[in-house]
Every structure is written in C-alpha cells, then in structure tokens.
Structure 1
Amino acid sequence: MDRAISASEANQHFSELLRDVSEGQSFTVMSRGRPVARVLPVDRDQERRSVDRLLKFVTSLPVRHSGNWSRDDLYE
C-alpha cells in the first residue's frame, strides 16, 4: 500500500524517499490534498519483458538497404 506524502515533504526528503523506494516502499505524492504522482520501485521482471518484446519486434522488421557508403563518408 502506498504511503501518502506531501509534495513539499517529498522535495525536502527526496534522498530518503528514494532509499525507501529502493527497499520496496511506494508513495503517493499529494499536492493541496490531491494525489498528483506515484513513486514506486521498478518492476525488473516487467522491464525485462518489455525489452524482450521490443527486441522481438525490431528483429521482425525487414532489412532496409541504405546504399553504399563507407565510414569515411560519415565524417566528410
């Protein structure tokens, strides 16, 4: 469950907030009593699945010919 924290408190204690997030806690940042942001740990498994899906998509794209050029052509 998220812990509510004011925007000013998050700003003043940002390093501590990041340490707590790295330990698994999550926060809802409130501004004038309304939720405006969530700070939560990165889901490494989901991140890896996203990268895998992107790589699968990119490798499925057709190879395009870019013409004949050399490395020297890039630096003329």
Structure 2
Amino acid sequence: MERTITATEANREFSRIFREVASGESYVVTAHGKPLVRITPATAGEPTDDERVARLHALVDDLAALPARAPGRITREDGYA
C-alpha cells in the first residue's frame, strides 16, 4: 500500500518512515500538494531473472523487426562526433 506524506512530515518522521519502508511500505512525498518523490523498498520493483530474459528477448524481437537502413558513407570524422 502506498501512503502520501508531505515533505515536512517526512523530514520530521524520517526514522519511522525508514522502518516502515524497510518492512515493505511505500510512500509518495509531496511538496506544495504535488508529488515529488516515491520511497519504496529497494527490492520492490526489481525484475526477476526470468522477467529480465523476457524483456531482453522482446527487445531483440523489436529491433529485428525494424527496417534495415544503409548508413551511407562513414568517414573518419564521424568517429569523433
């Protein structure tokens, strides 16, 4: 579950928020009523190895589907651009 907290509250309650995030809680910190940052546990959102492999295969498939383009003449100066 994601909670919303103001930047001032986050500053005052950092130790408590830190403990809650470490136990799996997530926060959105707002400033002047606008979302500023999201604080989530470090392991939340990290893809598994299977997900990474699936994403890599999807990327390769997408790249293979692109039309081939001739780059034209390549000069030595192009390597310095």
User: When the two structures are superposed, what TM-score results if normalisation uses the length of structure 2?
Assistant: 0.53
Partner deviation per Cα, 1:11-69 (whole Å, 9 max, x = no partner): 001010000001100000000000000000011783886xxxxxxxxxxxxxxxxxxxx
Q: CA RMSD of the aligned region, Å? A: 2.2
User: What one-letter code is carried by the residue in structure 2 that aligns with 1:33?
Assistant: G
User: When the two structures are superposed, what TM-score results if normalisation uses the length of structure 1?
Assistant: 0.57
Match of 1:30 in 2: 30
Identify unmatched segments of 5+ residues in structure 1.
Answer: 50-76
Instruction: Describe the SS at the equivalent of 1:46.
Output: coil
Identify unmatched segments of 5+ residues in structure 2.
Answer: 50-81
Aligned in 2, Cα 1:11/1:47: closer, same or farther, shift over 3 Å? farther
Percent identity reads 37
Match of 1:14 in 2: 14
Q: Tell me, in whole angstroms, the C-alpha distance in 2 between the residues paired with 1:33 and 1:46.
A: 29
User: What one-letter code is carried by the residue in structure 2 that aligns with 1:15?
Assistant: S
Moved over 2 A (4+): 44-49
